[in-house]
């Protein structure tokens, strides 16, 4: 099933040709070499585009490119595709991708120059096969002739044993990129940091109830997931191979303590937010093993737990852009707190 600018194209002779027709729009063509910098007008596939990172990547691609690039958003469900394409005007969509069925990925990647692969997440399925799904997407991209792959992974790969529950989602995929890809395929890894969105999920209810955030004492350089998507877009549009083989850490501009986070949220939300420390045992009592591992690690390692490299985002985005601050992020999300 296809969604073309918000319209369904189903069971039609046109169905299998939609991307070929789109690829010809504006006299664009697939470049044989990224070195042809002056002609680099990439067709970009985002898998999946329903993630916060994927959506931000699409927005940034449209904002940075004149004329607008050809962007293909790939989705598992039609509902998600309709929601996202309504917000991201100018992105075309394909529905029905399923990385468990590699044959379903062909239509996502036909005629594409760059594939942005966001590690899939489905809490109902668990974490055990996420790396397999990412590797299926990367293998399909290589088979389809994609010249550049941007993989959105995680900082947790730095501790594959201590953080096995989460790191298993990403570790083997990084190794796959580094050791299994043909020499003529470029790749870059964006290791996602500790997400600001976590604060929304963790603290929204307690802030609404009694103006408190309750958590063990940790220190993290929290990052806006939209910055990761913006970096993926910048990497896709880069006309040279300067980022090939690089691993970048996605972190916010400062390392924050829990008290810092409470203070920032107080200012941004215009209401007093207090921090109350919970013991690790108390917080972890009803959590899955992967989260227990993570919180135990964060508490033990404190400011050294999550890699802090704000210069990586600035380097990729250029123009003096810094990572988004927690205060800016919180003000933009005030309505949902």
- For 43-333, the fitting CATH number among 3.40.640.10, 3.30.300.30, 3.30.70.100, 3.40.50.720 is 3.40.50.720
Q: How far apart are CA 168 and CA 160, in angstroms?
A: 7
φ and ψ at residue 209, rounded to 5 degrees: -75, -50
Q: Report the pLDDT value the prediction gives residue 334, as an integer from 0 to 100.
A: 94
Higher pLDDT among residues 1 and 290, named by residue: 290
pLDDT tens readout for residues 63-77: 887 666 689 999 998
Average pLDDT on 37-49 reads: 84
Q: Tell me what pLDDT residue 90 has.
A: 84
CB neighbours of 181 closer than 8 A, spacing ≥ 6?
138, 142, 149, 187
Across 14-36, average pLDDT: 36
Look at residue 156 in the predicted model and tell me its pLDDT: 97
Mean pLDDT, all residues of the chain: 87
Q: What tens digit of pLDDT does each residue of 204-230 get?
A: 999 999 999 999 999 999 999 999 999
146-188 pLDDT, tens digit each: 999 999 999 999 999 999 999 999 999 999 999 999 999 999 9
Q: With pLDDT > 90 as the criterion, what percentage of the chain qualifies?
A: 76
Distance CA 311, CA 317 (A): 10
User: What's the pLDDT score for residue 320?
Assistant: 84
Residue 328 half-sphere exposure toward CB, CA atoms < 13 A: 11
Predicted model pTM: 0.88
Is 112:45 a contact under the CB 8 Å cutoff? yes
Average pLDDT over residues 124-129: 74
- Residue 92 pairs in a beta bridge with 72
Asked whether the predicted pLDDT for residue 332 surpasses 50, the reply is: yes
- Region 292-304: what's the mean pLDDT? 98
Average pLDDT score over residue span 294-299: 98
The full set of domain ranges for the chain reads 43-333
* Distance between CA atoms of residues 58 and 44, nearest Å: 9
Six-digit token string for 309 = 């490299």
What local confidence, expressed as pLDDT, does residue 16 receive? 37
């Amino acid at each position: 099933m296809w969604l073309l600018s918000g319209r369904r194209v189903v069971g039609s002779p046109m169905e299998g040709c939609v991307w070929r027709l789109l690829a010809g729009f504006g006299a664009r063509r697939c470049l044989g070499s990224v070195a042809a910098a002056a002609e680099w007008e990439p067709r970009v596939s985002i898998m999946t585009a329903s993630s916060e990172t994927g959506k931000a990547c699409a927005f940034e691609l449209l904002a940075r490119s004149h004329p607008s690039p050809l962007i293909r958003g790939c989705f598992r469900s039609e509902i998600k595709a309709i929601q996202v394409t309504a917000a991201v005007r100018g992105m075309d969509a394909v529905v029905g991708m399923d990385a468990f069925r590699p044959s379903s990925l062909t239509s996502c990647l036909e005629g594409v120059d760059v594939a942005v692969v966001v590690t899939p997440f489905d809490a109902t399925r668990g974490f055990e096969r996420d790396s397999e799904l990412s590797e299926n997407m990367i293998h399909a991209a290589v088979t389809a002739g994609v010249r550049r792959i941007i993989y959105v992974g995680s900082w947790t790969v730095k501790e594959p044993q201590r953080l096995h529950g989460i790191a298993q989602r990403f570790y083997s995929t990084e190794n796959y990129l580094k050791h299994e890809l043909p020499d003529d395929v470029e790749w870059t890894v964006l290791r996602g940091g500790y997400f600001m969105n976590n604060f929304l999920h963790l603290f929204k209810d307690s802030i609404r109830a009694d103006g408190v955030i309750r958590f063990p004492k940790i220190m993290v350089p929290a990052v806006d997931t939209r910055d990761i998507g913006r970096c993926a877009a910048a990497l896709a549009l880069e006309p040279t191979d300067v980022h090939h083989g690089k691993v970048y850490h996605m972190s916010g501009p400062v390392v924050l303590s829990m008290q810092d986070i409470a203070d920032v949220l107080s200012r941004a939300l215009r209401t007093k937010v207090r921090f109350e420390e919970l013991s690790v045992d108390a917080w972890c009592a009803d959590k899955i093993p992967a989260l227990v591992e993570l919180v135990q690690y964060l508490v033990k390692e404190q400011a050294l737990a999550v890699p802090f490299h704000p210069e990586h985002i600035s380097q990729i985005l250029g123009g003096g852009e810094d990572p988004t601050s927690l205060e800016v992020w919180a003000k933009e999300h005030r309505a949902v707190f």
